[in-house]
Homo-oligomer: A and B are copies of this chain.
Amino acid sequence: MDKQKEILAAALKLFVEFGFHGTPTSKIAKEAGVANGTLFHYYPTKDDLITSLYVSIKLEMSAFVETQSPKNHDYKAQFKNQFVNALHWAMAHPNEFQYVQQFYNSPYAALLQSEILQEQMQKTCGEIQLAIDSGIVKRLPVDYIFTLLSSHLFGLNQYLKNANLPVSKQKVVITETFELLWDMLT
């Protein structure tokens, strides 16, 4: 693993455990096994590291969901795949998902303006719009549906994290939740 990735991995681990406030750059560098200066070679400021880590994680997650969810003309199957895969990723990467929430609900989120992430969100919203136009999904504001989907994702993740179910049971709950959600939206 190259040093830049080591730095991101170390930052993720420490930020999730101790928060932005509680983790000095020096500790990140030490955890990553690089010199202090190396960190600032790749990320000119701590804020830069914090936002870059967020973007990097979001892109990783989207890449996973996209590759695992084959294009499908059945809207329900399409959304279900994406929902299920996003949850599987979240369960398999608890630190990463926790960081996304931590960052998103912190004032750092305001600093961020990433065209790539915005583009990605608009792509999802576009798919929702298509499902609405085809008459399958209720005629509600796209942003609203997007929010409901996200909330369920976060909420279900939280529940699964606390309720230590066996993986097989987890998959059942995930599927059932999606069915409830889909009924609600159609």
Contact = CB atoms under 8 A, between A and B. Distances in A.
A147 interface: yes
A48 interface: no
A106 B103 CA distance: 9
B147 A156 contact: yes
Interface stretch (A2-10, A11-19, A56-64, A67-75): A11-19
Greatest chain B CB density within 10 A among A21, A22, A183 is at: A21
Interface stretch (A34-42, A76-84, A122-130, A157-165): A157-165
A148 B144 CA distance: 16
Given A19-B107, A144-B159, 4 more contacts: A17-B107, A102-B105, A105-B105, A148-B156
